[in-house]
Structure 1
Amino acid sequence: MNYYKPITYIVQPEENGWILKSVLKEKLNISRRLLSRIKLTEKGVMVNGKREFINIRVCTGDLIEIHLEQETSQYIEPQNIPLNIIYEDDFLLIVNKQAGIVVHPTRGHYANTLANGVVYHWMQKNENYRFRPIHRLDEETSGVLAIAKNPYVHQQISEQMIHNQVKKEYVAILSGHLPDLEGTVNVRIDRDPEQRHLRIVTEHGYPAVTHYKVEEEYESASMVRLWLETGRTHQIRVHMKHLGCPLVGDKFYGKEYEGPAMDRQALHAEKLGFYHPNSREYVEYNAPLPEDMKSVVRHLKL
């Protein structure tokens, strides 16, 4: 049985005498479901190199190790698709996703996805991981995307998202000018009942909050920086349309504007920040504005 590199934790003085189970839940935030899964493995939870039951008491300085069995993405075909890797360690893979590629195989997209390229990348390194994107980007959206290498990492960052501890910052080019230079859009979103692949603003939808700040204004367009509190499908695109300024190049929610054409929506995930599940330190990853969006900006400034 093969295992990933263990998640580690050193018992702090204030935790001296705690029950191991309490440390796992309160300090490592391990869910009950994941803990049950870990306990079934041969190594499970180890303290100072010894397999232990979770009802023992721990002492200051004890080394706790969480061992997770290796998994594979057995239904994803490895394909040699170029990746722009921003960062990689034993727990995370951070990529700058190019526009025009789907993140995960779906009906109609079994190949040529980011997942196919990532699985190939790991195969070349003789590593086995299940493909676990922590969040999604639309096919035509570029930028920073995080992929977890084990279920613990996925759970931890997902929890941070739920508690609004993940920083997701985007840059978009909009048609027209927003009514205010900065503000917040707090309107609900749900599926369009007539076109199920689209989303609409509706009072009966799911909560969605987007903050924005105008960076530059041009004659017929604007460059805007956006921060998400929620991560609804097409959220930025729908919210900007709601304000009367849809994204340049957006085939579904856009409109004609006076400026250079763009063959995708002008949206880029520029920054992603969160607390690393192993080091527990805040980390931030950045992806520079892609060339197609830079080109549009250059033309708009003429």
Structure 2
Amino acid sequence: MTAYYPPIAYIVPEAENGWLLKTILAKRMHVSRKLQSKLKLTEEGITLNGRRVYISVHVQAGDVVEIRMEKETSDDILPQPIPFDILYEDEHILIVNKEAGMIVHPTHGHYTGTLANGVVDYWLQKGEAYRFRAVHRLDQETTGVLAIAKNPYVHQHISEQMIDNLVDKKYLALVHGTPDPRQGEVDGPIDRDPEEPHRRIVTPDGYPSLTRYKVLESWTKGSLVELKLETGRTHQIRVHMTSIGCPLIGDKFYRHAIYDRQGEHGEPGSSFADPEPHSYPTEPVSEIMELDNFISRQALHAFELSFEHPVTHEQMTFRAPLPEDMARLRQRLEA
């Protein structure tokens, strides 16, 4: 007998009396064509008042439409007892606070030790069967809130909210200097660096990219900045903040251009055209290096994530506190 996840139900209101079932599925329950095709092939995938029907039938007010997805497992991910911080969990989603240095999903050369390995083991120990589906990405060294869907419907629903810009993702960063103005936006197209394809740069021929920022606190050598992504390009915050002369403290990849200007080439320098000279911090390069060496990663934290729950339709907001290494760096800047 096929094992299913709990059904997701929709009660047809009076205003939708006589609609086609396929219209209810697409317009009201937001089931993608791909998922509809899969559900139609399972015995209890799509039911109307408890009976399996064709999606070409007409519904009546008060009818109960239900979809059921078959249980899945991540057989390609090795379960490992890796601890991780859970912020929220229900039968549809898992929200975690990712730590620094943890890769989200196994990749070539990193088949174990990832968040996915730990989550799959956690579900296995609870006797639950889910396929690991991270809804969005965080860089290996970026900490903070990460959403994981427990079924394809939830993954699709939140992904569509992201495409429609209905998901709020806010970050905290500790940067060199202070952005001018203290609140604004960086509207700079991003694409691969033709000389170093694994890097991204701001270039007129790039993909539209927009980051909004607000300085929360500022000190002599740096600032605490809140950032909101309006687009989701790879390394977007790191690239945009470097492009305005305020790179993230500790970032060994998108370093401050002052390293190149001072002849410091221990790590790759910035590939951007120099911003206006006044946007650079006035400290000697040694002081910038001291701050960069104070933390072992880029000082970036995904502190808040908001979206509509795909099943309950409740607007939900999840927050993760500032991690210890960034808190120490903040104290260092204050001192």
Give the TM interval when normalised to the shorter protein.
Answer: over 0.9
Letter in structure 2 aligned against 1:50? R
Cross-structure match for 1:263? 296
Q: Aligned ranges for residues 128-277 of structure 1 at < 5 Å? A: 128-255=129-256, 257=288, 259=291, 261-277=294-310
Q: Partner of 1:215: helix, strand, or coil?
A: strand
User: What letter matches 1:228 in structure 2?
Assistant: L
In 1, the alpha carbon distance for the partners of 2:121 and 2:181 equals 46
State which drifts further: 236-245 or 1-10: 1-10
Q: Secondary structure at the match of 2:223?
A: strand
Partner of 2:261: none
1:34 is aligned to 35
Find the counterpart in structure 1 of residue 333 from structure 2: 300
Please, which of 270, 282, 295 is the counterpart of residue 315 of structure 2?
Answer: 282
Amino acid at match of 1:12: P
What CA RMSD, in Å, does the superposition of the two structures yield over aligned residues?
A: 1.2
TM-superposed deviation, 1:221? 0.3
Aligned mates of 1:155, 1:243 — CA distance in 2: 35
Instruction: Using the aligned pairs only, state the percent identity.
Output: 57
TM-score (norm 1): 0.97
What CA deviation, in whole Å up to 9, does each residue of 1:7-66 have, x standing for no partner? 221212211221111111111111112111111111111122221211222222222111
The reply on whether 1:291 has 2:324 as its aligned counterpart is yes
Q: Secondary structure at the match of 1:238?
A: helix
Instruction: Point out where structure 2 has 5 or more consecutive residues left out of the alignment.
Output: 257-284
One-letter amino acid matched to 1:124: Q
Q: Which whole-Å CA distance do the structure 2 matches of 1:165 and 1:44 have between them?
A: 28
Amino acid aligned to 1:22: T
**Residue 30 of structure 1 aligns to which amino acid in structure 2?**
V
- Equivalent-residue separation in structure 2 for 1:110 and 1:193 (angstroms): 29
Amino acid across the alignment from 2:73: T
Larger Rg: 2
Indicate the residue corresponding to 1:93 in structure 2.
Answer: 94
Instruction: Name the SS of the counterpart of 2:226 in structure 1.
Output: strand
Q: How many Å separate the matches in 2 of 1:10 and 1:226?
A: 40
Cα shift readout 1:132-184 (whole Å, capped 9, x = no counterpart)? 10000000000000011111111111111111000000000001111111111
One-letter code of the match for 2:298?
Q
Residue 270 of structure 2: aligned partner: none
SS in 2 for 1:3: coil
The DSSP-based 3-state class of the residue aligned with 1:230 is coil
Q: Which amino acid aligns with 1:62?
A: D
* TM-score, L = length of structure 2: 0.88
Amino acid in the other structure paired with 2:16: E
Give the ranges of 4+ consecutive aligned residues of structure 1 lying more than 3 Å apart after TM superposition: none
Partner Cα distance (2:79, 2:331) in 1: 38
Answer with 224-233 or 9-18: which moved more: 9-18
Aligned residues: 302
Encode CA deviations 1:82-129: one digit per residue, 9 max, x unaligned: 010011111111000001100010011110000000100110111111
Unmatched runs of 5 consecutive residues or more in structure 1: none
User: Quick one: which amino acid aligns to residue 287 of structure 1?
Assistant: A
Answer with 54-63 or 146-155: which moved more.
54-63
